[in-house]
Chain A
Amino acid sequence: MTFLIQQTLIYAIPLMIVALAGVFAERSGIINLALEGIMIFGAFVGVLFVNIVQQTEFFEAAKAADNYIALQGLELLAMLAAAVMGAIFSLLLSFASVNLRADQTIGGTALNLLAPALVLFLIRIIANQNTLQMASGDAASWFMIKKAMFGYGRTEEMGFLGSTFVDKTYLATYICIIIFVVLSIILYKTRFGLRLRACGENPQAADSLGINVYKMRYAGTTISGALAGMGGFVYALTTSNCMATGDVAGYGFLALAVMIFGNWKPLNIAGASILFGLFKCIASSYSSINIGGVFIFNELGLSAHFYRMLPYLITLIVLAFTSKSSRAPKAEGIPYDKGKR
């Protein structure tokens, strides 16, 4: 059970934060199809940052001395770097779709093509292979929170809550949850959030009240880029051992589906992403999931391919049932033209 919850969280959290990224862009009126590309880029930047910085003397010493605070700090810095570069990368999208009134679907697709190409080009030159890893050690030994940090011995138990939510988890997971909550509050309870949402629903009306629609759309897309970049790094850190491969296995698109399923509302998105995280967790490690001593999915005897297909199949089916009642921001995808009233 502990394993199931931990794994689900690991898959659900990047999905949740990237889906929120989608919300910020779409609520401001820009369809951000580039989430996948920005995630790939963010993952690359974060891993590259870790790779370079961990070789400095300070962090080498910190690792040798088991200075957990410094190591967690490194993780946060890498998240920050990924977020900043994700935001910068997303400027390409906002420039095209806000200033040049480009087709947002094509613009997003271009970024989705650009990110893996650029990332793989650089990775191949930097690392001479198709993956970029940490310079030494692995994600678990550098960044994972372990019970030893809290003075527990090897054989001591932390209790159910402790061993589920503290032992063998990543700080990034909880930072993401905090950011998710804070940004959701900002979106609904502040003046900025109200204005942002207004630009996605009726930009003409917003403009007539003195809101700068262009600025708001830039803000929405930039926040979106930062979140997606960070989500990409968190994904790489927690699910693929801090490794950048120029691929996030359709995660950005899955986040878009979660966003639509969650009806562009943060609370629903949190629920939806936990559901999808669960299926993704089943897909990736069904044979070792143990509920009350029974390896239930293994005993069903279904093919591994079926489980791998499951998240996408469920997404499609769930969308089929919910799409009728879903309500997208009215002005999304339409370039804002002051002349049209």
Chain B
Amino acid sequence: MRERLTNLYGKDGTRTVLASILSIIIGLAVGSIIVLIVGAVSSNISGGSTWDGIRLVLFGILSTGRDASGALSFGFNPTSIGNMLFRATPLIMTGLSVAVAYKTGLFNIGAPGQYLMGTMASLMLALGIPSEVVPPAIIWIIAFVGGMAAGALWGAIPGLVKAYLNINEVLASIMTNWIAANIVTWAFEVSDFKNLVESTKSGYIYKTTFNDVATSKMGLDSIFPGSQVNGGIIVAIVIAILMYVLMTKTTLGYQLKACGSNRHAARYAGIKDKRNIVLSMAIAGALSAGGAALYYLSGNTEFAWQTYQALPDTGFNGIPVALLAACNPIGVIFTGVFMSMLDVAGTQLTALTPFNEYITDVVIATIVYLSAFSLVIKMLISGGKKRKKAKAAPAAEVKAEAPPEDADAEKGGEAK
């Protein structure tokens, strides 16, 4: 038994998971510390609400509001958990988008733009096709596929300029993001999909239910009553599994990963590297846009169409989702749910304490920061092993060769 455990521990995958969990713990700790400092410095915030804030940062998903005496109560909250699953849907999709591109050696920071293009295409299709003629289920499928197609086209642009003109895909993606934000605003402004019926709201597009289009609940609403959850989460999970199969079991996936590991070696081996770069970005774009389609076709979400000054957070949050999962499509399912859990915790924090939801973004940013040197963290985790090896080798020689900063890092590892 013990041997088995050691084997499991020795596996690279296990260490990746441990590194991610450690990153999460450190991230949550940093968030709590910031809440603590702000609570201590600010004269308006009492010690009690600081403590409440910390508890909500850590366990916000289980919060059931305040009880009669005004203290926070915790327990199973089906509404929160259902909402968590609902919000996880687009995050899983954008996370997959970033992960697939990353495996091909591309950093897809263009997810927000692709997400917006997907939103535009799927909303226009869902609202534009008359539901008297075409059954709503067919419209849903057309809108979903159409949205993904729009995202694929938009994602292919940075891929094309990267492959053929050697423009850094990060820069190209950022430019296409802002161009998309303007195109979407422009297109909706001249369209007649603006919600003019409900006069209390301005700047929103009609819900897709105005055309009787809505994602099937698939029975999930009876498990999580009062929440927004629907079948979209199941679609997202199926797509994640499909992406896993694509990346690990097919020739195309192998070619994509080969391009990511070493573009020149891949070309030497007869793989069309340029085609694969474009294809990878197109798949990434389709996934992001699919996330948008699942979110906005749900029937209970509304799209504020004047987006030219701000890009959707969901797109950017695909980056932490993917990085935290070490770009493994199956891992993305779990990290996507984790991120939306933080999101729900943030809304609880805003509702119940003087703090606000942005602290959860700080937690996410900290986790991304840590994932930038996940190798070092992995090294820290396997520090025990390293120490044994170091003892076997003449220690003095190792010390003399390593640069001073590196020696410090090694020492830190040994201390753990």
- A residues within 8 Å of B by Cβ? 33, 92, 96, 98-107, 109-111, 113-114, 116-118, 120-122, 124-125, 214, 247, 249-250, 253, 256-257, 260, 303, 305-306, 308-309, 312-313, 315-316, 319-320, 323-324, 338-339
Contact A106 B355 (CB under 8 A): no
Contact B165 A309 (CB under 8 A): no
Q: How far is the CB of A301 from chain B (nearest CB, A)?
A: 14
In the complex, which residue of chain A has the Cβ closest to the Cβ of B316? A113
* Given the contacts A109-B368, A320-B161, A122 and B175 also touching, CB distance less than 8 Å: no
Q: For B178, what are the chain A residues with a Cβ–Cβ distance below 8 Å?
A: 250, 309, 312
Q: How far is the CB of A40 from chain B (nearest CB, A)?
A: 12
In the complex, which residue of chain B has the Cβ closest to the Cβ of A105? B107
A118–B45 Cα gap in the complex (Å)? 18
Q: Is B369 an interface residue (CB 8 A)?
A: yes
Contact A316 B172 (CB under 8 A): yes
Q: For B167, what are the chain A residues with a Cβ–Cβ distance below 8 Å?
A: 316, 319-320, 323
Majority SS at the chain A contact face? helix
Q: For B179, what are the chain A residues with a Cβ–Cβ distance below 8 Å?
A: 309, 312-313, 316
- B residues within 8 Å of A by Cβ? 34, 38, 42, 45, 107, 109, 161, 165-168, 170-172, 174-179, 182-183, 185-186, 189, 308-310, 316, 319-320, 323, 354-356, 358-359, 361-362, 364-366, 368-369, 371-373, 375-376, 401, 403, 405, 409
Q: Which residue from B42, B170, B362 sits with its C-beta under 8 Å from A114?
A: B362
Contact A125 B366 (CB under 8 A): no
* CB-defined A-B contacts under 8 Å, sample of 7: A100-B376, A106-B368, A114-B366, A312-B178, A313-B175, A320-B167, A338-B403
A174–B176 Cα gap in the complex (Å)? 33
Contact B365 A308 (CB under 8 A): no
Contact B365 A117 (CB under 8 A): yes
Contacts across chains A and B counted by CB atoms under 8 Å: 147
A253–B316 Cα gap in the complex (Å)? 15
* Given the contacts A100-B409, A305-B189, A338-B403, A109 and B362 also touching, CB distance less than 8 Å: no
Contact B171 A260 (CB under 8 A): yes
A327–B176 Cα gap in the complex (Å)? 23
Q: How far is the CB of B281 from chain A (nearest CB, A)?
A: 15
Contact A315 B175 (CB under 8 A): yes
A214–B407 Cα gap in the complex (Å)? 14
Contact B358 A121 (CB under 8 A): yes
7 further A-B contacts with Cβ under 8 Å, apart from A100-B372, A121-B359, A339-B401, are A96-B373, A100-B376, A107-B369, A121-B362, A309-B178, A313-B175, A316-B172
Q: How far is the CB of A130 from chain B (nearest CB, A)?
A: 9
Majority SS at the chain B contact face? helix
Contact B182 A106 (CB under 8 A): no
* Given the contacts A124-B356, A313-B179, A323-B165, A257 and B171 also touching, CB distance less than 8 Å: yes
Q: How far is the CB of A246 from chain B (nearest CB, A)?
A: 8
Q: For A257, what are the chain B residues with a Cβ–Cβ distance below 8 Å?
A: 171, 174-175
A95–B162 Cα gap in the complex (Å)? 30
Contact A110 B171 (CB under 8 A): no
Q: How far is the CB of B147 from chain A (nearest CB, A)?
A: 21
In the complex, which residue of chain B has the Cβ closest to the Cβ of A321? B165
Contact B171 A102 (CB under 8 A): no
Contact A125 B42 (CB under 8 A): yes
A295–B361 Cα gap in the complex (Å)? 44
Q: For B170, what are the chain A residues with a Cβ–Cβ distance below 8 Å?
A: 33, 105
Q: How far is the CB of A303 from chain B (nearest CB, A)?
A: 6
Contact B372 A106 (CB under 8 A): yes
A313–B310 Cα gap in the complex (Å)? 17
A109–B365 Cα gap in the complex (Å)? 8
A110–B23 Cα gap in the complex (Å)? 13
* Given the contacts A257-B171, A305-B182, A313-B179, A110 and B369 also touching, CB distance less than 8 Å: yes
Contact B171 A109 (CB under 8 A): no
A323–B42 Cα gap in the complex (Å)? 50
Q: For A313, what are the chain B residues with a Cβ–Cβ distance below 8 Å?
A: 175, 179
Q: How far is the CB of A233 from chain B (nearest CB, A)?
A: 20
Q: For B401, what are the chain A residues with a Cβ–Cβ distance below 8 Å?
A: 339
Q: Which residue from B165, B168, B308, B364 sits with its C-beta under 8 Å from A113?
A: B364
Contact A96 B361 (CB under 8 A): no
Q: For B183, what are the chain A residues with a Cβ–Cβ distance below 8 Å?
A: 305, 309
